């Protein structure tokens, strides 16, 4: 357990910019963990890496409306600020940035970051505009915090690759650090969405990563998942990795597993 401190809460964009400029002037290495809150052990793993790697760790909590193509999904997203701040304190976070939508999108979201290839595949094919919202807000956070390193989980591997590509395309002076997926004891990838599963759905959910990992082909994985009661959005094989997205009830789950042979 890290030395618990109370992180400084920053809500103003101008205050964050002043603080970031001052920290960089002192030569402090800054780590950023961008989140939408509802923090869990997967986020805690990112925060621990950030704490270990840099002198200053920054956690951003912003439920980003631009990345929700379904207004009901946005409305259902859990807001757990008190618990999130406790996680931040436990993991040694120095600053928590808590902006609101008007300050992050003072232009009314007229200006956006769009990627025209990978963002339209896999999850992007099922969630139009989602990755435009992700990349737009992440670029804003990079510009405001000016981190030396930013931390993303491999569970959202497509997002990770898109952020890496954006950083490279725009010559951003920071390192994108990937952190392995954190899983429950039964193999289910930890996600804030898991809390919305009914007890019966939660019992069934671990079959998702198990089938992704064990099936010889993506087509067979899709068939097995459907037979097991999942509503399958997609299962696709890419070099060395298999991606999948399914629904149980009204909860959408995503995952990916390494595949070193035959892909």
Cite the active site residues. 43
* Encoded tokens for 168: 């490279």
Cα(143)–Cα(24) distance, integer angstroms:
13
Residues near 239 by Cβ (< 8 Å), separated by ≥ 6? 263
DSSP-based three-state secondary structure for 174: coil
CB 131, CB 162: distance < 8 Å: yes
Mapped onto helix, strand or coil, the DSSP state of residue 34 is strand
DSSP state of 182: P
Contact criterion met (CB below 8 Å) for 153 and 42: yes
**In the block, which residue shows the tokens 């920290």?**
23
CA 11 vs. chain centroid, Å, equals 21
H/E segment holding residue 149:
strand 149-153
């Amino acid at each position: 357990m890290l030395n618990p401190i109370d992180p400084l809460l920053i809500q103003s964009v101008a205050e964050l910019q002043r603080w970031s400029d001052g920290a960089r002037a002192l030569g402090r290495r800054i780590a950023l963990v961008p989140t939408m809150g509802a923090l869990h052990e997967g986020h805690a793993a990112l925060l621990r890496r950030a704490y270990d790697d840099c002198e200053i760790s920054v956690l951003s909590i912003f439920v980003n409306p631009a990345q929700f193509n379904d207004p009901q999904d946005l409305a259902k997203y859990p807001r757990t600020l008190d618990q999130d701040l406790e996680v931040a304190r436990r993991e040694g976070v120095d600053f928590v940035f808590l902006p609101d939508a008007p300050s992050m999108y003072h232009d009314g979201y007229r200006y956006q970051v769009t990627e025209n290839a990978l963002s339209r595949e896999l999850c992007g094919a099922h969630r139009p505009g989602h990755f435009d919202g992700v990349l737009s807000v992440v670029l804003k956070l990079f510009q405001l915090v000016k981190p030396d390193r930013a931390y993303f989980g491999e569970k959202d591997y497509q997002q990770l690759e898109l952020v890496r590509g954006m950083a490279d395309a725009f010559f951003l002076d920071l390192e994108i650090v990937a952190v392995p997926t954190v899983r429950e004891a039964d193999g289910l990838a930890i996600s804030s969405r898991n809390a919305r599963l009914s007890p019966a759905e939660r019992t069934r959910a671990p079959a998702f990563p198990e089938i992704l990992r064990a099936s010889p082909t993506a087509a067979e994985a899709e068939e097995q998942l459907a037979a097991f009661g999942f509503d399958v959005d997609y299962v696709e094989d890419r070099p060395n990795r298999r991606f999948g997205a399914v629904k149980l009830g009204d909860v959408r789950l995503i995952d990916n597993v390494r595949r070193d042979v035959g892909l």
